[in-house]
Amino acid sequence: MNAENNIKTFIVKKPLKLDCGKTINEFPIAYETYGSLNKNKDNAILVFHALTGDQFVTGQNPITNKDGWWSYAVGPDKAIDTKKYFVICANVMGGCMGSFGPSHEDPSTGTAFGTNFPVITINDMVNAQYNLLDHFGIDKLFSIAGGSMGGMQVLQFISNFPDKAKTVIPIACTSSHSAQNIAFNELGRQAITADSNWKGGDYSSEDTIPNKGLAVARMAAHITYLSKKGLQEKFGRKLQEREDLKFGFDADFQIESYLRYQGSVFVDRFDANSYLYITRAMDYFDLAKQYKGKLSDAFRATRAKFFIISFTSDWLYPTQENKDIVIALNSIGADVGFVEIESDKGHDSFLLDVPDFLSALKNFLDKSYTEN
Amino acid sequence: MKNEFQVIAELIEKDKKVLDVGCGDGILMQFLKNNKNTNIRGLEISKSKVQECIAKGLTVIEGNAEKDLKQFPDKSFEYVVLSQTLQAFLNPELVINELLRVGKKAIVTIPNFGYWRVRLHLLIKGTMPITKTLPDEWYNTPNIHMCSIKDFFYFAKSRNIKIFKSLAINNQNVSIVNHSNLTIKNFFADLGIFLIEK
């Protein structure tokens, strides 16, 4: 990556004990910020990214030259208004955009960690990112927000640090990865490890990378981010630049061509080992289990105001799983609002231009901020 | 704000924790929050109404009273308010039981089917009554379990529900309903308001 000087990092000096038992020292966290921190330092929002996201939330991503993953929601005058709020986002640990991950050099071997990188969890990611508060001298965040795996980090963050955020916005997520979620992730991992270029994870010094396997993983996952109705309306049985079926295995259908494209562009920006590690972290996520099966205990210590959002057509993290979080919060009398947004765009709705979602997010934040 | 809400708000002391079931666009919630320092939550089935509440800065959960009240622990609110929706539930008795479980007290308002205009409409016209408080036709009304103030009195008695206060509203007039004037009030009021406990 020749644009690496566009990546801001800081080195965490405090040792961090990981859930797997290992302790890591002096590790980098890559981050980006938008807007400016006010004098009272009470306008900061920590945004957590999803599986394949990164710290470049909005504007042009300097590495991929594409729009940031949450450009619809974050920016001047947008739902998360960067004229008003100071938005911070870090690349998750295990990722491949500058934070400590499997493509980093293992000092004991001089080559990339690969699968010698410790297996990390959502808890580890959140504990690592907590250091951002010290880094910016912020005592309490105005809000924490994120969708999908970002939402899981939101839930973990507030249970680990109950008095460090005033408002909490988990979106399209779950408190515990379901069998179906794990199954889809396993499919992706198997695709990667079945690629002969994966070489047990030790491909960093090779000329070839497991891009076939990673592309298949992305294609399979991409289907889970969309709804059946959305796919049918966008593609139906439309053919790809041809009048009729070709009786072969080229991409006859537009949907095939679309998925192949999604797979091919993904391998340019994402690391296969990171994909293995991050999906594993998601699969291990079970917040209730951390509290002896009682999810509400995860939130008992916090006075934060929660706003939970789900989408009608999201079958990956369906409304009921989001509602289970609402139920746990209500059972302890927490301040929690909930809305299910009508959308045909599936799980990806939180990343897209869904006006009802964006206005709910904006109204919740802005009203909560003026009540501060 | 409509008279009904003024009356409900007067029944609630300052600094209480209140749940508004079927809170609509949040007018009553907002009034309680601003004037009574109420720690107020809402439950509302309509997505667009939930959005309106969020825009007002109110804490609302999208949900259905018949299914979603069960997530609240026993006596977790000082008051639970149910305004003019009891008659729209499939199982009003279950909803009343849930209100009284979740709240220490409940405030329930009902459009009075014993109101003279309602009776007259059916008597003279012979068709399902349509009034200001009951504006829908029989085929599109959400109201499937209509009752009168008298019915509610008898229901409460049969279920050992204590009625602390019952009020009748007719236009702008609010008056107290008791056993001795029940028949008269049931005739002249178009809305009944009950403060109950079990």
Q: What angle do CA A49, A55, A58 make, to 5 degrees?
A: 90
Instruction: Inspect the interface and report whether the beta carbons of A360 and B63 lie closer than 8 Å.
Output: no
Q: Identify which of A336, A363, A370 has the shortest CB distance to residue B59.
A: A336
Measured distance CA(A105)–CA(A117) in Å, rounded: 10
> Residues A171, A187: one domain?
no
Q: How many CA atoms lie within 13 A of B49 on its CB side?
A: 17
pLDDT for A1? 43
> Residues A203, A348: one domain?
no
- The residue from A279, A309, A336 where one domain ends is A279
Sign for the CA dihedral angle at B33, B35, B37, B40 comes to: negative
Instruction: Inspect the interface and report whether the beta carbons of B57 and A326 lie closer than 8 Å.
Output: no
How far are the Cα atoms of A310, A364, B33, B45, B68 from residue B107, in angstroms, in the given order?
31, 28, 17, 19, 18
pLDDT for A206? 87
Give how far B31 is from chain A: nearest CA, Å: 16
Residues 6+ apart with CB under 8 A from B118: B112, B129, B131, B134
> Residues A264, A294: one domain?
no
Write down the pTM of the prediction: 0.95
Interface contacts (A, B; CB < 8 Å): 57
Q: What is the pLDDT of residues A359-369, one digit of tens each?
A: 999 999 999 99
Q: Report whether B60 contacts B53 (CB < 8 A).
A: yes
Q: Where are the alpha helices (DSSP H) in A170-253?
A: 179-194, 211-224, 228-234
> Residues A195, A81: one domain?
no
Q: Which two tokens stand for residue A205?
A: 């010094």
Structural domain range at position A327: 4-178+286-370
- From the candidates A54, A195, A314, A344, give the one annotated as an active-site residue: A314
Q: What is the DSSP letter of B146?
A: -
- The residue from A228, A256, A279 where one domain ends is A279
- The residue from A246, A279, A312 where one domain ends is A279
> Residues A28, A101: one domain?
yes
Clarify whether A314 is annotated catalytic.
Answer: yes
For residue A59, the domain's CATH number is 3.40.50.1820
Q: What is the pLDDT along chain B (198 residues), one digit of tens a residue?
A: 789 999 999 999 999 999 999 999 999 999 999 999 999 999 999 999 999 999 999 999 999 999 999 999 999 999 999 999 999 999 999 999 999 999 999 999 999 999 999 999 999 999 999 998 899 999 999 999 999 999 999 999 999 999 999 999 998 899 999 999 999 999 999 999 999 999
| CATH 3.40.50.150 for domain B3-113+145-197 | yes
Residues 6+ apart with CB under 8 A from B110: B84, B86, B87, B147, B149, B152, B191, B192, B194
- From the candidates A148, A227, A313, A343, give the one annotated as an active-site residue: A148
> Residues A197, A342: one domain?
no
Instruction: Inspect the interface and report whether the beta carbons of B54 and A337 lie closer than 8 Å.
Output: yes
> Residues A321, A219: one domain?
no
> Residues A25, A77: one domain?
yes
Q: Where are the alpha helices (DSSP H) in chain B?
A: 3-11, 27-36, 47-55, 65-68, 92-102, 116-120, 149-158, 182-188
pLDDT for A3? 56
> Residues A164, A297: one domain?
yes
Looking at beta carbons, which residues of chain B come within 8 Å of A360? 51, 54
> Residues A151, A192: one domain?
no
Interface predicted TM-score (ipTM) of this complex, two decimals? 0.92
Q: What is the pLDDT of residues A107-160, one digit of tens each?
A: 999 999 999 999 999 999 999 999 999 999 999 999 999 999 999 999 999 999
Amino acid at A59: G
Q: Report whether A164 contacts A133 (CB < 8 A).
A: yes
Q: How many CA atoms lie within 13 A of A196 on its CB side?
A: 0
Choosing among A339, A342, A366, A371, which should be mutated to test the B contact, i.e. which has the most B CBs within 10 A? A339
For residue A198, the domain's CATH number is 1.10.1740.110
CA dihedral A156, A162, A166, A171 (to 10 degrees): 20
Q: How many domains does chain A have?
A: 2
Q: Which two tokens stand for residue A240?
A: 């790809």
Q: Identify which of B51, B57, B72 has the shortest CB distance to residue A330.
A: B72
Q: Report whether B193 contacts B156 (CB < 8 A).
A: no
> Residues A188, A293: one domain?
no
pLDDT for B2? 87
Measured distance CA(A122)–CA(A118) in Å, rounded: 13
Mark the ranges of chain A whose per-residue pLDDT is less than 70. 1-4, 372
pLDDT for B171? 82
Q: What is the crossing angle of helices A272-284 and A122-129, to 10°?
A: 100
> Residues A269, A197: one domain?
yes
